[in-house]
Each structure stands twice: as C-alpha cells, then as structure tokens.
Amino acid sequence: MIFLGIVLLGAVLFLIVSDWLFLKKDVTKIERLKIYKDTIVIQWSILLIICIVWLVSDFSWKELFTIDSGNSEEYSSSFIAGFLTSVIIGALLFVFIMNWRAKKGDSKNLVVGNIDFLLPQTKKERLAFIFVAATAGICEEIVFRGAMAVFLFGLPFEFSLGTVAIISAVIFGIAHFYQGAKGILGTGLFGYIIFKIYMASGSLLVPIIIHFIVDLKFVLTPNGKVNLK
C-alpha cells in the first residue's frame, strides 16, 4: 500500500511540475503534435508503473476495475445507458454550438480558456487528438478512479465512499494544474461526478467511455480561431 501511495504521489507531483514548466514556455511556438505525443507517452508510462505495482503486490485486478458501493444494483443498465446517451447528446450539442459560433464569425471562439492553444486545429492534429482522448479516458480513469480508490480505501482511516469521491476529485483537479484555477475547479467537479457514476455502475468501463467522449468533442470543434496573445 505504501508503494502504491508513493507512485500515486509521484505521478501527481510530476504532472504538476511538468505543467508548471510547460506554462512558462512561449505558447506561440508550441508544437501541438509533439505535445500530444509526449502526453500519450507520459500517461501510458504512469499506467505501466501502476500495473507493475499491481503485479508485485497482493492487489487483485478486479478491485482496480470495479467498485462495490453497496447500492450499484439499484441502478439499472437502462439508467447507465441513459446517462451515456445524455453525455453523447451534450457533447454533440457543444460541437454544434461552437460550429455555429464559428460560422457567425465569432473571433472569440474559445472553448476551454487559457489552454485553447493546445486544442487541435489541423487534420493531423485532430487525428492525433483522438488518441490523446483515448489515452486520457483509459489512463486517467484507471489511475485517478481505480488505483486511487484502492489506495484510499486501503488506508486505516475508514473513509466513506463520499469522502473518497471528494478526495480523488480534488487530487484529479490539482493534477490538471495547467488549466488554471477555473480548470482545476471544473476538472475536480468532473472527477467527482465521474466517481459517482463509477459507484453507480460498479464498473470503471463506464467512466472511461464518458471521459473519452468528453475529450473527443474537441476533435470536431472549430479550434482554428484561438487567440494566442
């Protein structure tokens, strides 16, 4: 358990420090494709380390991908399907609105805020961003929802499910330091909601799919009018 804690703490600190160093760069000279590649490599490397921890420890793979909230059976498959449908509709609506704004010539077509310069703009970047979205959906959910929950539940403090959801959400938000204060709050809220969905479904697959869809929408949004000043 101590080893897992060290790995998780190291991963979060590494992300914060690397983001801080990145934000000191001149954003007008960034290479998005290189950033996407580095992001994919870093996140899969962190996940690989987590998997090694699981192999050398007595953790079961089942507890990494499932959670017993005690009431997950109360949520039917139709509820989960309905929530996934709502996420898809919300993402499509977001894409429609942003495209509509672009057609109207909205020069302030910002969709995230101070990190809009990271969003894909060319065909190659959009294709690469699909893999970024898939990587974030898989790696971040396994690390921040799966492994984080196992670690927090393994501590001698008897945390409740709600407390674990809040702690993991706060850590998840802080790990997205590069998005600024609003980004940290927004990402933290997303982390809390996604953890509650994890509790409701009992399977990490559902959060992974939702996370992927939420990030994937940026592939279809007109991100070409980004103000880099």
Q: Which amino acid is at 15?
A: L
**Radius of gyration over every alpha carbon of the chain, rounded to an integer in angstroms:** 18
Structure tokens at 1: 């358990």
- Taking only the tens place, the pLDDT of each residue in 104-130 is 776 555 555 567 778 898 999 999 999
Structurally, the chain folds into a number of domains equal to 1
On whether the CB atoms of residues 147 and 4 are closer than 8 A, the answer is yes
Q: Look at residue 128 and tell me if it is in a domain.
A: yes
Residue 229 lies in a domain: no
* pLDDT for the residue 44: 96
Could you identify the residue written with the tokens 């809390």?
A: 192
In a domain, residue 225? The reply is no
β-bridge partners, 66: 203
Angstrom distance (rounded) from CA 148 to CA 152: 6
In 3D space, the residue among 178, 200, 201, 174 whose CA is nearest the CA of residue 188 turns out to be 174
Domain-located, residue 227: no
Helix (H) or strand (E) holding 153: helix 148-154
Q: Is 123 inside a domain boundary? A: yes
Dist CA 49 CA 191 (whole Å):
22
Instruction: Tell me the whole-structure pTM to 2 decimals.
Output: 0.88
pLDDT in tens, 169-183: 999 999 988 887 888
pLDDT band at 75 (very low <50, low <70, confident <90, very high): low
Q: Would you say residue 226 lies in a domain?
A: no
Domain of residue 47 covers 2-219
- Note the pLDDT tens digit of each residue in 187-218: 999 999 999 999 888 899 999 999 999 999 99
The Cβ of residue 30 has, within 10 Å, a number of other Cβ atoms equal to: 14
